[in-house]
Chains A and B, each alone.
Chain A
Amino acid sequence: MADLSVQIGELRLKNPVLVASGTFGYGKESAHLTNLNALGGIITKSVTLKPRDGNPPHRIVELPAGMLNSIGLANVGVEVFIKEKLPFLNGLDTTIIVNVAGGTAEEFLAVVERLENEEGIDAYELNFSCPNVREGGMEFSQDPRVTANATAMVRKATRRPLLIKLTPNVTRISDIARAAKESGADAVALINTLVGMAVDINTRRAKINTVTGGYSGPAIKPVALAKVYEVACHVDIPIVGIGGIMNGNDALEFIITGATAIEVGTANFIDPRTGERIIGELGDYSQRNGVQSIREVVGTLRAA
């Protein structure tokens, strides 16, 4: 049996398979459908300072090999999260990463400061990349200076590992990853969704309420891999790979390209057991290829 454990800065995961924020609720929703303790870790739905109702319908539309969403960070807010959601997560035998979102750097800081009083949180993932919330104007991680400023601000408030979740909707994602690293991030998680759009030709309306939304699913995997490759080539920081991962093969593509861990996202909607299945497939791959530890595979992409 190969060793699947990995290390992201100070954060040790029993295996590299995480579930992506916004695709797994607060864990409990899938507890009757899958073995949560098998996962390398759970990344919660984004938590903001105040509760958010989210966007009006229609929030999602299916597209070929993908989907477009505009949920609008609907969440219970940090107080209810601590009171009602965190105790369940604390009872699990897996790593708990709280995804934090906000409209300003100060809001990110305020949420993290509030969570610092609570036990059972292993790390934070800062969502600098939600494309569906307007008040921020733009996604934080579209600008290296904004990314650096907000990362540094939160870094001062916590010793827990910090993952910065990046948007692919930029010219050079490695510039943003570097800004995050230099401001104290332990890892970067990429990619969040691609900004996308779909139109109903009969009604001549956009198919989702906010017109544009976030495109996810297997269709975006090639884009995600290319972004992970770019960061891996240019910045020395642990990478968590995300984007259209449906199976062990997809996960391994990211790991070989340079991701230390991966997040399963849209696939959870079809089957929340996908992460569990991928863990098994990583074990099988390791055995077939004489791999002692999955860490040996990270970043082993050969020159073309």
Chain B
Amino acid sequence: MVETFDSRAGFFECPILSVNNLSDAIYLMRLYSPTIAKNSYPGQFVNIKVNDEFIPLLRKPFSVCRRDAKNGWFEVLWKIVGKGTEVMSRLQSGEQVNVLGPLGHGFTISKDLELAILIGGGLGVAPLPFLCVELLKAGKKVEVFLGAKSAHELAFVDEFLQMGVEVFITTEDASVGEQGLITELLIERLKQKSRPGKVTFFSCGPTGFLNSMIRVSENFNIAGQMAIETMMGCGFGICVGCPVRVRDPQPGERLYKLTCVDGPVFDAREVILHG
């Protein structure tokens, strides 16, 4: 089996190795691409053309969820939100999709980091398994916080536990873990127990959730990195369709950055997110 190196760097015809329905809402696809598997780092994304048709027209962006550089695969996680993700969910192993990637600026793991708090809202868990692996490899302590509407929208809980990290869970319907929002549970724990040393949270999720994380960063004076989910046109900076507002632009600095090339990971105190 080969990934077809589709002319120049960046585009790959990737064979699908598997598509798993993790619950009635969530899908996980494993794609064969030694180059993407080798070259990506946590927080980066790939932009997938799910079929050769004009509907859906544009590529769809997905976080690199896990990768295996040795065996040459990477995975993407999604739930059905529109035509693109619906088509994705009907694809099967043996088929191919055209993938552009890896793209964007991902998470930064600083040398002096001591505790990493990984917090995902809903499908915002997507980039966290890959990040967790790399953090543990770098010898960092990791805590994972996952929130979802309901149990069937949670993913990777067992995988995080197998990695030996502490996992905290909330669901809005109390179907698993504590009832409530994951940001509330995090705030409660931050109040109870001070965490000495250099702490950073790494978050991904919907805009409302990320806005809560911006407040956590301010109120508890914790550094935070956030992977932003947004509509994208191209994924590599030519359509200029994915602006993120810069919080305090310096004179001469742009008012907007682009999620695709400047992000998708931003410092929590760097940007203002629109609801």
Chain A interface (Cβ < 8 Å from any Cβ of B): 22-25, 29-30, 32-35, 45, 53-62, 64-67, 69, 71, 74, 217-219, 246, 266, 268-273
Q: List 23 A-B contacts (CB under 8 A).
A: A25-B238, A30-B238, A33-B9, A34-B8, A56-B243, A56-B245, A57-B274, A58-B274, A61-B231, A62-B56, A65-B54, A65-B55, A69-B239, A71-B240, A74-B240, A74-B243, A217-B54, A217-B57, A269-B59, A269-B233, A270-B57, A270-B58, A271-B11
Which A residues are CB-close (under 8 A) to B9?
A: 32-33
Pairs A-B, 5 closest by C-beta atoms? A60-B241, A53-B255, A269-B234, A65-B54, A25-B238
Are A59 and B49 touching (Cβ within 8 A)?
A: no
Say whether chain A's binding surface is mostly helix, strand, loop, or mixed. loop
Tell me the residues in window 217-267 of chain B with beta carbons closer than 8 Å to chain A beta carbons.
230-231, 233-234, 236-245, 254-256
- The reply on B39 being an interface residue by CB < 8 A is no
Are A62 and B274 touching (Cβ within 8 A)?
A: no
Q: Do A23 and B238 form a contact, CB below 8 Å, given A56-B274, A246-B54? A: yes
Are A30 and B245 touching (Cβ within 8 A)?
A: no
Which B residues are CB-close (under 8 A) to A268?
A: 234, 238
Q: B208 CB to closest chain A CB, in angstroms?
A: 13
Chain B interface (Cβ < 8 Å from any Cβ of A): 7-11, 49, 54-59, 82, 98, 100, 230-231, 233-234, 236-245, 254-256, 274
Q: Do A59 and B240 form a contact, CB below 8 Å, given A33-B10, A54-B256, A269-B234? A: yes
- CA–CA, A81 to B106, complex, Å? 28
- CA–CA, A71 to B245, complex, Å? 14
Are B243 and A67 touching (Cβ within 8 A)?
A: no
Beyond known contacts A34-B8, A62-B231, A269-B238: 17 more, CB 8 A cutoff: A24-B238, A30-B236, A53-B256, A54-B240, A54-B243, A56-B274, A57-B230, A59-B240, A62-B82, A64-B55, A71-B239, A217-B54, A218-B54, A268-B238, A269-B59, A271-B98, A272-B236
- CA–CA, A246 to B274, complex, Å? 33
Q: B84 CB to closest chain A CB, in angstroms?
A: 8
- CA–CA, A54 to B7, complex, Å? 34
- CA–CA, A66 to B100, complex, Å? 20
- CA–CA, A23 to B241, complex, Å? 10
Nearest to A207 among chain B residues (CB) is B231
Q: Which of B10, B11, B231, B256 contacts A58 (CB 8 A)?
A: B231
Are A69 and B54 touching (Cβ within 8 A)?
A: no
Are B54 and A23 touching (Cβ within 8 A)?
A: no
- CA–CA, A64 to B56, complex, Å? 7
Nearest to B243 among chain A residues (CB) is A57
Q: B241 CB to closest chain A CB, in angstroms?
A: 4
- CA–CA, A62 to B7, complex, Å? 27
Which A residues are CB-close (under 8 A) to B240?
A: 22, 25, 45, 54, 59, 71, 74
Are A53 and B239 touching (Cβ within 8 A)?
A: no
- CA–CA, A269 to B57, complex, Å? 10
- CA–CA, A29 to B245, complex, Å? 21
- CA–CA, A218 to B29, complex, Å? 29
Are B238 and A62 touching (Cβ within 8 A)?
A: no
Which B residues are CB-close (under 8 A) to A22?
A: 239-240
- CA–CA, A266 to B254, complex, Å? 25
Are A53 and B254 touching (Cβ within 8 A)?
A: yes
Q: A270 CB to closest chain B CB, in angstroms?
A: 6
Q: Do A273 and B49 form a contact, CB below 8 Å, given A59-B241, A65-B54, A218-B54? A: no
- CA–CA, A57 to B228, complex, Å? 13
Which B residues are CB-close (under 8 A) to A58?
A: 231, 274
Q: B206 CB to closest chain A CB, in angstroms?
A: 14
